[in-house]
Amino acid sequence: MNTMNPVIDQDAKVEKAPEPPAGNGINDADLEGRTVGRPFADAPKFSLRDVEVFYGETRAIKRISLDIARNEVIAFIGPSGCGKSTFLRCLNRMNDSIDICRVKGQLQLDGHDIYDPKRDVVELRARVGMVFQKPNPFPKSIYDNVAYGPRIHGLANRKSDLDDIVERSLRGAGLWNEVKDRLDTPGTGLSGGQQQRLCIARAIAVSPEVVLMDEPCSALDPIATARIEELIAELSESYTIIIVTHSMQQAARVSDRTAYFHLGHLVEVNETNKVFTTPQHPLTESYITGRFG
Amino acid sequence: MNNQQQAELVRQSLKRRYRKERRFRLYGILAIAIALAALVTLFADIIGKGYTGFIKTTITLEVPLDPQTMYLEDATDKDAFNMADFKAPLLTALHNVLPETGKGDNRDLGHLLSSYAANKVRDTLEADLSLLGTTQTMSFLVSDDVSVYVKHADDPNYSIQLSEKQQRWVDRLQERGIIQNSFNDVFFENGDSRDPGHAGVLGAIVGSLLTMVVTLLLSFPIGVAAAIYLEEFAPQNRLTDFIEVNINNLAAVPSIIFGLLGLAVFINLFGLPRSVPLVGGLVLTLMTLPTIIISSRAAIKSVPPSIREAAEGIGASRMQVVLHHVLPLALPGMLTGSIIGMAQALGETAPLLLIGMVAFIVDVPSGFVDSATVLPVQIFLWAGSPELAFIERASAAIMVLLTFLIAMNALAIWLRRRLERRW
């Protein structure tokens, strides 16, 4: 049997091999559940304990524990495939639609279990909004894009209320002045940066408590990126924001705390300036000094 | 190798590449030209052979409605009326316009007129008895032999059935404008008939329409619903894989098999009547469903997942995602697929033969359970008729069918453009 299909054998070996590309002699057992820094907070918004995510047989997230405080901006950084997006999508159960994905562990929002089978995912997503990597406005008018969430959740009974929500959200996303005269034109006709701000307006239109952002600036030019970063700073006054980013500068600019992920482990969490000036874990240090990733 | 040599090599390979490109483009143009030529030939042939089907030949006569010649002493007597000779005044009228003919030519003269001419005289009188004794100007269809002679005297493909004497008469009548060609309104007002002059496509058109209504009402909602369920809600498992494979197989099943199925299930098992648009529509629904499901699924699949995620991210339920976002975006594709499926069904003959829609039906159907035939079957019936005049009817009916098909395809394109242009 062994000699019949050497290719499969090789694959199996690759999977079993200890991975850390950074060297340092660090392997899975040293990392699992041993987050350094300050992962916990008092009276957190999100309380996440021993979270594991499986894609079929593969364990994509390996026993991560983390608290996310109210109205803080926390950035998830790490090399590609480290699981930061997967982890983010657990927080409003966007992984539900992936059949082979299973989530284990205790995930609580304000003390209530997110993955409680009795929990209504629609209600959860109304409280935990999301902005995606690529701007994805609906092929509808700018107005309808923003009004869609309030409409389906029944947040506005009268047209004037809805108008107010749309204006407030567009102002919140810093887009109002640019689009107020053409609210009935397609949202898909805006520029990339405007589209992303429209998506942010759409997300905050339902007045969520938390906004998840999955690399919101990766498809934008530096000017549009700067605009979104300003916006994040403004939004952080009223929302808890969790942002996944590939840009360490961005993490340093916008976030209060930074979490470094590595191959499904949460290696280090700390105040952003501490992570970038005095990282405690050698893997974090290698990553932020550009030795890999 | 220095830079100059390399540039030279690139230049040479460029030449080769451009040559290849030109050749490839030429193949493409050639293929399209061949296809267009085939299309033009087809249309030219059908129109060239069939346009005479849209022409009717009529004869206009001064008919003396004389009770004596008709042996009609008492017109109020039903029996006497039924026994009366309504052909006699027609012959008299013909004698009047062809003075050289005598009593001995009656038989040959009678052959000039369609067999329904006497009925027309009878019906006219029945409607208004006061016309008795007057002379009326009436138009009649000529017999199909005369019609063929008038339209195709020079065409070697048509054999002329008229005698020399009759041909002379017809020529003279034509010169004097008594025999005339005009637009064939009869063709669009009648159902089928044994007499080619009176045969029309209205019955077949109505039958086709009724059948299509049944097919559309059943296959579109069922097909779209099935596609949405399979694409959006069904779990991915062995059963759904099995269903998917079977839908794809069904799309490739010869249509006559669906006719057999319809005969066995709808007619023999459920006891529905034969030859009716309802059963025809049911059978064609079975046939079109796979096409509609497959094209609808493709349309749903082509909706970008980012739109789905966006809606889910705001908290839209599964149903809201489908109804508000997926369906509107997939609708143009679904409609196109459905209309193409319907066009296929409109041109389908084989399965309908098996459920009895091949019967000879004179009346225009007035409902879903009236005996009916459909356009392609009507063409099939006429094309197989021995009478030459039916051949041009068949060609004309083909043109009518093609017009419907082109109209449906144009509608599909227009709908898609219109719905897509919104964003």
Say whether pLDDT at A15 is over 60: no
Query: Quick one: tokens of B237?
Result: 């498992």
Q: B9 exposed, middle or buried (CB, 10 Å; 0-12, 13-18, 19+)?
A: exposed
- The answer to whether B205 touches B397, Cβ cutoff 8 Å, is no
Average pLDDT, chain A: 85
More confident: B74 or B294: B294
Which residues, numbered 56 to 115 in chain A, qualify as contacts with chain B under a Cβ-Cβ cut-off of 8 Å?
92, 94, 97, 99
Of the candidates B304, B306, B312, the beta carbon closest to that of A94 is on: B312
> In Å, how far from its chain's centre is CA B334?
25
pLDDT at A293: 53
Say whether pLDDT at A22 is over 50: no
Q: Which long-range contacts (CB under 8 A, 24 or more apart) does B97-100 make?
A: B97/B61, B97/B62, B97/B173, B97/B176, B97/B178, B98/B169, B98/B172, B98/B173
CA distance B277 to B283: 10
ipTM at complex level? 0.80
- Residue A53 backbone phi and psi in degrees, to 5: -125, 135
- The answer to whether B67 touches B410, Cβ cutoff 8 Å, is no
More confident: B375 or B132: B375
> Does a structural domain hold residue A127?
yes
Residue type, A90: C
Say whether pLDDT at B21 is over 70: yes
B235: left (phi over 0), alpha (psi -120 to 50) or beta: beta
Helices B3-50, B388-421: crossing angle, 10 deg rounding: 140
Rg (CA), chain A: 20
**How many domains, in total, are found in chain A?**
1
- Residue to mutate among B314, B317, B331, with most A CBs inside 10 A, is B314
> Does a structural domain hold residue A134?
yes
pLDDT at B283: 94
Say whether pLDDT at B237 is over 90: no
pLDDT band for B285, please (50, 70, 90 cuts): very high
Which residues, numbered 232 to 291 in chain A, qualify as contacts with chain B under a Cβ-Cβ cut-off of 8 Å?
none
CA distance B215 to B207: 12
Q: Do A136 and B315 touch (CB under 8 A)?
A: no
Nearest to residue A201, comparing CAs of A175, A236, A240? A175
Alpha helices in B229-276 (DSSP H): 238-251, 255-262
Query: If you average pLDDT over each of A276-280, B30-34, B196-200, B244-248, which comes out highest?
Result: B30-34
pLDDT at A98: 82
> In Å, how far from its chain's centre is CA B394?
10
CA distance B16 to B369: 67
C-alpha distances in Å from residue B345, one per residue of B31, B289, B375, B399, B401:
28, 10, 11, 17, 12
pLDDT at B232: 87
**What is the domain extent for residue A175?**
38-288
Averaged pLDDT for residues B223-235: 91
Q: Do B310 and A123 touch (CB under 8 A)?
A: no
Mention every residue, 6+ apart, whose C-beta is less than 8 A from residue A27: A18, A19, A20
Q: Do B310 and A149 touch (CB under 8 A)?
A: no
Query: Quick one: tokens of A20?
Result: 């850390």
pLDDT at B222: 96
B336-381 pLDDT, tens per residue? Answer: 889 889 999 999 999 999 998 888 888 889 889 888 999 999 999 9
Write out chain B residues lying below 8 Å of A138, CB-based: 307, 310-311, 325
Write out chain B residues lying below 8 Å of A99, CB-based: 235-236
Say whether pLDDT at A21 is over 60: no
Say whether pLDDT at A5 is over 60: no
Q: Find the range with the poorest average confidence among A31-45, B34-48, B257-271, B365-379.
A: A31-45
The DSSP element (H or E) to which B63 belongs, if any, is strand B55-64
Question: Length of chain B in residues, anyone?
Answer: 423
Mention every residue, 6+ apart, whose C-beta is less than 8 A from residue B257: B351
A262-282 pLDDT, tens per residue? Answer: 888 999 999 999 999 999 998
Write down the pTM of the prediction: 0.79
Say whether pLDDT at A7 is over 50: no
Averaged pLDDT for residues B57-76: 83
Q: Do A138 and B311 touch (CB under 8 A)?
A: yes
CA distance A40 to A18: 29
A133-163 pLDDT, tens per residue? Answer: 899 999 999 999 999 999 999 888 889 999 9
Say whether pLDDT at B265 is over 50: yes
CA distance B357 to B371: 8
pLDDT at B292: 94
B268-279 pLDDT, tens per residue? Answer: 999 999 889 999
> Does a structural domain hold residue A19?
no
pLDDT at B25: 96
CATH number, residue A173: 3.40.50.300
> Does a structural domain hold residue A7?
no
Say whether pLDDT at B422 is over 70: no
Query: Quick one: tokens of B62?
Result: 């001064």
Alpha helices in B252-366 (DSSP H): 255-262, 277-301, 305-314, 318-320, 327-346, 350-354
pLDDT band for B225, please (50, 70, 90 cuts): very high
Average pLDDT, chain B: 89
> Does a structural domain hold residue A104?
yes
- % of chain A residues with pLDDT over 70: 90
B76-131 pLDDT, tens per residue? Answer: 777 778 788 888 888 888 888 888 888 888 888 888 888 888 888 888 888 888 88
pLDDT at B266: 93
Question: What sign has the CA pseudo-torsion A21, A22, A25, A29?
Answer: negative
Write out chain B residues lying below 8 Å of A136, CB-based: 304, 306-307, 309-310
Query: If you average pLDDT over each of B7-16, B214-223, B336-345, B413-422, which comes out highest?
Result: B214-223
pLDDT at B96: 87
Chain A residue at shortest CA distance from B313:
A130
- Residue to mutate among A97, A151, A190, A200, with most B CBs inside 10 A, is A97
Specify the 3-state DSSP secondary structure of B189: helix
C-alpha distances in Å from residue A111, one per residue of A12, A43, A67, B345:
41, 9, 11, 60
More confident: B329 or A13: B329
pLDDT at A18: 42
Of the candidates A94, A132, A188, the beta carbon closest to that of B423 is on: A188
The DSSP element (H or E) to which B27 belongs, if any, is helix B3-50
Query: Quick one: tokens of B199?
Result: 């045969």
> Does a structural domain hold residue A33?
no
Query: Quick one: tokens of A11?
Result: 């694959």
CA distance B103 to B109: 10
B178-221 pLDDT, tens per residue? Answer: 888 889 888 898 888 888 888 899 999 999 999 999 999 999 99
Nearest to residue B300, comparing CAs of B272, B325, B280? B325
pLDDT at A12: 38
Given the structure tokens 């209309």, which residue do they identify? B339
Of the candidates B313, B325, B329, the beta carbon closest to that of A94 is on: B313
Q: Do B315 and A130 touch (CB under 8 A)?
A: no
Say whether pLDDT at A17 is over 60: no
Q: What is the 3-state secondary structure (H, E, C) of chain A?
A: CCCCCHHHHHHHHHHHCCCCCCCCCCCHHHHCCCCEECCCCCCCCEEEEEEEEEECCEEEEEEEEEEECCCCEEEEECCCCCCHHHHHHHCCCHHHHCCCEEEEEEEEECCEECCCCCCCHHHHHHHEEEECCCCCCCCCEHHHHHHHHHHHCCCCCCHHHHHHHHHHHHHHCCCHHHHCCCCCCEHHHCCHHHHHHHHHHHHHCCCCCEEEEECCCCCCCHHHHHHHHHHHHHHCCCCEEEEECCCHHHHHHHCCEEEEEECCEEEEEEEHHHHHHCCCCHHHHHHHCCCCC
Q: A202 in contact with B at a CB cutoff of 8 Å? A: yes
Write out chain B residues lying below 8 Å of A148, CB-based: 311, 314, 316, 324
Residue type, B366: S
- Residue to mutate among A89, A109, A136, A206, with most B CBs inside 10 A, is A136
CA distance B294 to B291: 5
> Does a structural domain hold residue A8?
no
Domains of chain B, first to last: 52-183 (no CATH), 202-421 (1.10.3720.10)
Q: Do B314 and A202 touch (CB under 8 A)?
A: yes
A180-234 pLDDT, tens per residue? Answer: 999 999 998 999 889 999 999 999 999 899 999 999 988 888 888 888 898 899 8
Say whether pLDDT at B48 is over 50: yes
> Does a structural domain hold residue A97?
yes
Cross-sheet strand order for the sheet of B135-141: B135-141, B55-64, B179-183
